[in-house]
Each structure stands twice: as C-alpha cells, then as structure tokens.
Chain A
Amino acid sequence: MASATAAGGPPPPAAPRSRKSVTGTRRTVAALFLLPALVLLGALVVYPIGYSLVRSFGNASGDGFAGFDNYRALFDDDGIRTALKNNIIWVVFAPTVSTALGLVFAVLTERVRWGTAFKLVVFMPMAISMLAAGIIFRLVYDQDPDKGVANAVWVGVHDTFAQSSAFPKAHPGRESPLRADGGGFITSAAVRAGTPVTLPLVGVAPDQLPGDARPARAAQPEPGKVTGTTWQDFTRGKGVGTPGAPDPSELGYAGMRIEAVRDGTVVAATKAAADGTFTLPAAADGARLRLPADNFKAPYNGVDWLGPALVTPAVIGSYVWMWAGFAMVLIAAGLAGVPRELLEAARVDGAGEWQVFRRITVPLLAPVLAVVTVTLMINVLKVFDLVFIIAPGSSQDDANVLALELYRKGFAEDRPGIASAIAVFLLLLVIPVMWFNIRRLRREGRR
C-alpha cells in the first residue's frame, strides 16, 4: 500500500512546477520551499540507492572494486536462482489470486444484507502486521494435527474415510519366527494343525493397545485346527522376558487380523481374541500365517504443508489471506462507481448474471483491477517477513525469495557486495511495474 501512495504522490506537484512562470514565483523561493523535501528525499532515498549501486560493484570488505563479479554471482548461485524462480511464482500467483478473490468478494458482498460486516471481517487481516500473520500461519500449517488447524481438518476428513490401525509400530523382536512381507509379517515356516503357533511382536506400549486387550495366554492345541497366540512380547520395565512365550503381564493383540496363505492365496482368515489367541480351520494346515499390512498402517500424518514441495504455495496462501481484503475494498470502491443503468440495461436485454459479470462488470472494473494487481505486484516483489517466519529452517532454502536472500547474504553471511547486487536487481524488477503504475495514474489524472 505504501508503494501505491508513493506512486500516487509525485504527479500532482509535477504539474504546477511546469507552469511556475504563470504564478510568478521566483526560482529561488521555489527552491527554498523544496529544499527540506529534497534533503529528506536525497538522504533517505537517493543516497541509499546510489550507495547500494556503488557497493554492488565492491568486494566483500568494501575496499576494492569487484567489477561485475557480484552480478555474475546472481546467476551462478543456486540459492539466488531458487529465489528468482520463487519470486516469479509469487508475482504470477499471489496478486492474481488476491485480486480474483477480492473481485468475487466485492461483487458478492454488494448483494448480501450483511455486506459491510462481511467486508469488515475480510479486511481485518490487514490490521495485523506481516510478522504476526506469519506466526499465526506457522501454527496453522504445523505438521502435528493436534496443533496445526490445516492438518487437523485434513486428517479429520481423511480418517473419516480411511481408518488407521491399532498397531502401527509393531515389529518382530529378536529371534522371531516372523519376517517382513510387503508391509506385514509372515511366518518363515508352515503351520501344522494341532501344534499351537506363536506370533510374537514388539513395539506397542501397553497403554496404546486396544482397550479390550487382556493378558496373553498360550493357545491350547485343538485337533484338526490351527491355534495360536499373537501378543506384545515385551514386559514393561523388564524387556522381552521369556522370548516366544507370553509372560504374565504381556497383553494380547486384540483384533489383529491373521491370514493363512498357501501359494499366494488366502485360504483362511480370522481375528485374534482379547487375549491374543486365535483359531483357524483345518484348511490352514500346511499354510503360512500372515499378519497383513493393514494391521500396521501408520496413522495418517496429514499434508507436509511446510515441506520443500508445498512451502511456497502455503506461504502464498497466507499472503492471499492478508491481502484479498485490501483488493476487495479497492474493487468495491470501484464497483460503487459503475453506472447501475448499464447493469440494469443488460439484465433487461436478457443477460444472465454470469454474462453481466463477465461482459459488463469486469470490463468496467478493468482499470481498478489493473491498479490493484500492479500494486500487489510491487508489494509481492519485496515480500520477506512471511517467508522468513513461516518457512522452517529446513525448507527456508526452498521457500527463498530475493528479499530474503538479500537479507541472508547481507547480514547472515556477511557478503554485502552480493546483497547490494540483489537490491539493485530488485530495483530493476520494480521499475517497469512502477513506471506502468505512474503512467496509468497520469493518464487518469488527464482524463
């Protein structure tokens, strides 16, 4: 927003200056009045820009000339290249999405009764500093569904359709008769009817077992049937105890699914009872027992919002949350100036609402939309705080943008030459957008 006012500021004084002779003001007096502003501008704007330019040709310590080395580094350095790529993504998506959402909000709020209240709510994030918004979204995107609301919602939806299992971390202990098999476990040897089978696993804490689990019990042999026990072969505080046989306080894996597999086909299946015992029919004789993978499915962890792949879109999302309100307010103001009779006429002529929006409202709003988009573009080019705060250290490199890289090079790595070169480069990127904005405002002023 600051850039918008800055861009809007200069043109008005420019007009009177060109006509100074008419008012009869003498040059010296004019200069005298301009002096404070010029000194301030010079000291605060022109001098820093000039010095950055000089510094960008200097070496790290600032006492020698480095030629274009710093600028060459801009395109050699991986970090800066990622930053550049991300900046392009930002400039393309953040302003357009914000403006599009703002337009939708503005058009819709015109029609609802509580429009002003709605506008107030959407605009509210603008009252928060970027830093605070960053901290908020760092929490929103937290990986842990107990903390991050984004993952809480995501996991909630996911778990409604796909349940996680009870024994996610169970695994065979030492000297186990089981071996891994496609996410589940399978016995190394075939089982025989009448000889009880043991399927011991470890890695599930007693208080994480299903509530109905009872102390495990060795299965009794039953003629013509395959019997066995599956249980947590680990006594709290003691270790494995007697390996391969249930100790008194060891709990059965209540509800564990067991399949008998012969030549790759399941011939029988059952579920373990509360004490971990199970019985399979005679068909299982000579087959191998498998604990299928769905027993051990890890709980769904949600989306890795701040991981390398999604971090930039996630941060852009938080930016849109902040700035859609700004776009909405400006567009709503523009919308108020759209002549109603045009819309009415279109409706009378039989245009549908979508057609009115597409063919009348949007074209009439085009100048406003352009100003909003361009203003946001300038704003986005210098984005720093959101990225700096939201991206965790491990993916900061993947979320990098030019302004952040400038800071890191200048203050963390102590390479002010390259930092200055980035600053100059950023300035060059902003200038065309700035020029576009100023030209538009001029044209509007003339109208």
Chain B
Amino acid sequence: MRSRSSTIRTHRAVTTLAALLAGALALSACGGSDDDKKTGGGASSSAGEKGSGVTLPKLDGASLEVAAVWTGGEQKNFKQVLAEFAQRTGAEVTFVPAQDPIINFLGSKIAGGRPPDVALLPQPGAIKQAVDKKWAKPLGPQARAELAENYTQGWQDIGKVDGTQYGAYYKAANKSLIWYNAKAFENAGATEPTTWQELLTTARAVYDSGVTPFSVGGADGWTLTDWFENVYLSQAGPEKYDRLARHEIKWTDPSVKEALTTLAQIWGEKDYVAGGASGALQTEFPASVTQTFTGGDQPKAAMVYEGDFAQVNIGETKAKVGTDAKVFPFPAVGSAAPVVSGGDAAVVLKDSEAAQALVTFLASPDAATIQAKLGGYLSPNKNVPNSAYPNEVQRTIAKALIASGDDFRFDMSDQAPQAFGGTPGKGEWKALQDFLQNPTDVAGAQARLEKDAAAAYGNGG
C-alpha cells in the first residue's frame, strides 16, 4: 500500500489541470452554499444530486483536524469536500498531511497528546490496530444510519472490528483491471478477454503480431501479490481467500499451487513478459505502465495489470485514457471474475459531535459525489450516481466495483502482517519475485511463502 500511494503521489504534478478545475468547481460550490444560508440558513441545508442531502448539525465554533496520506491533486480534491462540510456546518476543518505508514504517524501524534479528530486509514489491518490500541472511537448512530443507507453489507462489515462499526469507507480502489494498448490490440486483431483461457489466446495473438503481451512491474513486489490475489480469488473462491488471508490454510495448500501454476502460464512463458523475468524485476510500477503506452506501434508490452490508479501513470504518457489506453476487468480464472479492492476508511480518534458529523458527511453520497466529479476517485458508496464520474473509463471501473456487491475482497497482502505482506525484499513480495524469476519452482515458492508467513503471523519480535 505504501509504495502504491507514494508512486501515485510523485506524479501528482500531472493533475494540475484537474486541480484548476477543482478550484473553479469550489467557487461555484461556495456560491451555492451561501445562497442556502441566506434563504433558509438553519441547521440542515440540502445539496446533492437528488436534493436529498444528509442532515448535519450546526457546528459554529467547532474545529476539526483530519489526517490522511493524500498529497497533490488528491489532497486538493479532498479539501473541496472538507470545504463543503465547513460551509454546511460552520465548523472549521484543517487537513493534516500524514506520512506512511499512517498508523506510526498517528502513534506519534497520540503520544504527543494531540491526535487528529478523524483519520483516513488505508487498510482493514490499520483499523484493527487503531482499535486494539484504543485510539479509535465507535461511530455514532447518525454515521451508522448513513452507512446502512449507502453501503452494501460487505463495505460496512470491513469497517467493523469485533462487531462494532469503527470505520466508514470513503474511498475505494478497484485492483482487478488490465489496462491495454488499444493500438497493439488492433494490430494483433485481439479482443478483450473475459476468461483466463481467452486471456491466453489474446496474449498469443499479441505475441504472434510481434509485441510482448505483458508488462510486469516486478521491482515493486506488491504488483506481483496483486496478480496472485486476483488469480487466487477467482480460482479458489472468496472463502478460501479469506482463510488464506488469515493464514488459516497454509501456503503449501494445493489451491495455492494451482494458482501459482496458473500464473506461470503467463510469467513462465518465454517472451510473454517485457524484458524477461530479470528485466521485469527491475521495472518499477510507474515504468511498467508508461512503457505499455509509449512507442507507437511497438510498445514494450501490450497489457499491464493494475488497479484504477494506473490512470495517473498513463496520464504521464501521450496516450489518452479511453481511446489509446483501454481497460478490461481481470478475467475469470474460475467461475467468477475476481474483484480485489482497497480503500480508505474514515475513523474517529477524538469523539465529538463535530467528528461524528464529519464521518456522517463522508459516508453520504453528497461528499463522494463532489470528489467523484473531480476525477481520480472511486467511491464504494452505492448511491453515488454513475454519471458523477468524469469519463467513460471511470464509469466502467465504478460500475464493476458497485456491481460486485459483497463479492469483492480486500487486498490480501494489505491484510497480512507488514513483515509478510508489505516490506520490500521480504515475505510475500520477495517470494513472488523469486517465483517470477523461476516460475517452474512452484513447490519452492510455496515453501518459502509458508516459512515467511509462519514467522510473520506467529510472533511480534
């Protein structure tokens, strides 16, 4: 997760245009709210697509601090949402930029006696950690009501710890997408696959046309864990996925063997991965995306797997998302196509009326719609109108996410202890990098995964 956000962050400069747009929208939004005040005033003001806004208390004089790791355009857009909240309630809201891992950042803030009122935590594991350390406060009735109205059970449950609702998922990521170079597909006469077999056929056609089918950012281990998770979720099913995430089944399980063998059909095929295995292992995620969308008729690869955030990197090339760079959902390996997702949840750290009101607002379609319009954002809120997203690709991704209902699963490596699922050169990252280097050694990869998992899940050290 960490490297994911940092790679996105570094390329924020590109979205200056989006930021300017954000400014313009903000002005109009402010104007609207002012009118509201003059005419009706009152504690609750209504806004939003359908005019059925969320009810918020009057909070004049209250001040709030919100911490999140977002920077650049993402941060600017989120500030628009906070400004809207301030307009409606009269509370003063300050954004506190945090560093990854945010849980360590919050730890030092809490030790210093000044925790932010609300924090946006990127993993279910982080919410659990915050609850275990007694930092997080349960959500109040209004926030829970808002969640119940706008979120599927699955998205509510993932914000719960031991049955109590602590987090409200404000932002989501869809990590089951394959981006492809439309030109390379056209040259090869290839079509968007919906099953793994079709994906292999497509890859073959692309390879026969003289273009390497896949680009893999293997220098960043998390791209490899995401590959594995999609295959495993689709092939072994959600139930086994959950058990493996909790390490209730071992990595030496036959289901893992099957998933790795399936992966090897792509990773292990000669010339299927750009630069070969050792080249891929030195390609970082941003480069793996840009090399797929540069080079005209001869890109380094035709397809690159990753989540919706790959758009930011595509934005660095001349390719246009939607015409030059297209996307299809990760094909079904087993019976159903996988939806692996991620997201940021709002958690209250200092209980107050204002903090609860802010989380209530963030759980409402009003807040999500504002940021959806600004782009680069995906909401798990099912009541956000699909038309709020600025382009066709965003709408497709959002639709796929909402359509998966409760069948989505959170990124497995994000749920694992950091030593196993989130450290460069260690644990799952390293084991899968070794597997990419030597895809015939399925048993060896499994043994290594199990050894590291046992160590990481077993003790704290």
Contact = CB atoms under 8 A, between A and B. Distances in A.
Partners in one complex: yes
A79 B426 contact: yes
Main secondary structure of the interface of A (DSSP, over half): loop
A237 B221 contact: no
A394 B433 contact: yes
Contact of A169 (B104, B271, B279): B271
A236 interface: yes
A207 B183 CA distance: 14
Nearest to B207: A203
B205 interface: yes
Contacts of B460: 59-61, 415
B425 A394 contact: yes
Contacts of A110: none
Contacts of B284: 392-393
Given A169-B271, A207-B298, A237-B187, A396 B424 contact: yes
Contacts of B219: 392-394
B425 A397 contact: yes
Interface in B260-287: 271, 275-276, 278-279, 281-282, 284
Contact of B424 (A203, A304, A307, A393): A393
B209 A413 contact: no
B187 A396 contact: no
A185 to B, nearest CB: 14
Contacts of B275: 143-144
Contacts of B278: 143, 304, 307
B208 A415 contact: no
B7 to A, nearest CB: 12
A201 to B, nearest CB: 9
B297 to A, nearest CB: 6
A282 interface: no
B342 interface: no
A263 B160 CA distance: 73
Nearest to B185: A237
A446 interface: no
Contacts, number: 120
A234 interface: yes
Interface string A206-220: 111000000000000
Contact of B422 (A60, A143, A204, A412): A412
Contact of A393 (B188, B212, B425): B425
Nearest to B300: A144
B85 interface: no
Contact of B210 (A142, A204, A238, A398): A204
Contacts of A395: 281, 425
A163 B429 CA distance: 37
A66 to B, nearest CB: 9
Given A306-B282, A413-B419, A205 B208 contact: no
B205 A239 contact: yes
Given A143-B279, A304-B278, A392-B284, A208 B298 contact: yes
Contact of B208 (A60, A202, A414): A202
B295 to A, nearest CB: 11
A411 interface: yes
A73 interface: yes
A414 to B, nearest CB: 6
Contacts of B208: 173, 202-203, 234, 239-240
A238 B211 CA distance: 15
A400 interface: yes
A204 B187 CA distance: 12
A408 interface: yes
A204 B297 CA distance: 12
B461 A415 contact: yes
B220 interface: yes
A239 B188 contact: yes
A70 interface: yes
A208 B281 contact: no
A184 to B, nearest CB: 14
Contacts of A306: 282
Interface string A406-425: 00110111110110000000
Contact of A392 (B101, B212, B282): B282
Interface string A291-305: 000000000010010
A307 B423 CA distance: 18
Contacts of A418: 461
A397 B422 contact: no
Interface in A191-244: 202-208, 232, 234, 236-240
A394 B210 contact: no
A205 B426 contact: no
A394 B423 contact: no
A393 B429 contact: yes
Nearest to A398: B425
A394 B211 contact: no
A166 to B, nearest CB: 12
A385 to B, nearest CB: 15
B221 A394 contact: yes
B430 interface: yes
A398 B219 CA distance: 13
Nearest to A240: B208
A326 to B, nearest CB: 30
B218 interface: yes
A61 B219 CA distance: 32
Contacts of B101: 412
B205 A205 contact: no
B281 A394 contact: yes
Nearest to B276: A301
Nearest to A167: B210
A173 B201 CA distance: 12
Interface in A350-398: 391-398
A395 to B, nearest CB: 7
A151 to B, nearest CB: 11
Contacts of B209: 202-203, 205, 234, 236
Interface string B113-134: 0000000000000000000000
8 contacts: A73-B461, A208-B298, A234-B210, A236-B209, A394-B282, A394-B430, A409-B461, A417-B461
Given A240-B208, A304-B278, A417-B461, 11 more contacts: A171-B271, A205-B211, A206-B210, A208-B298, A234-B209, A239-B205, A393-B3, A393-B219, A393-B425, A409-B461, A412-B424
Interface of A: 59-61, 70, 73, 79, 142-144, 169, 171, 173, 202-208, 232, 234, 236-240, 301, 304, 306-307, 391-398, 400, 408-409, 411-415, 417-418
Question: Which 7 pairs across A and B sit closest by C-beta, in order of nearness?
Answer: A205-B210, A60-B460, A396-B425, A397-B425, A415-B461, A202-B208, A394-B281
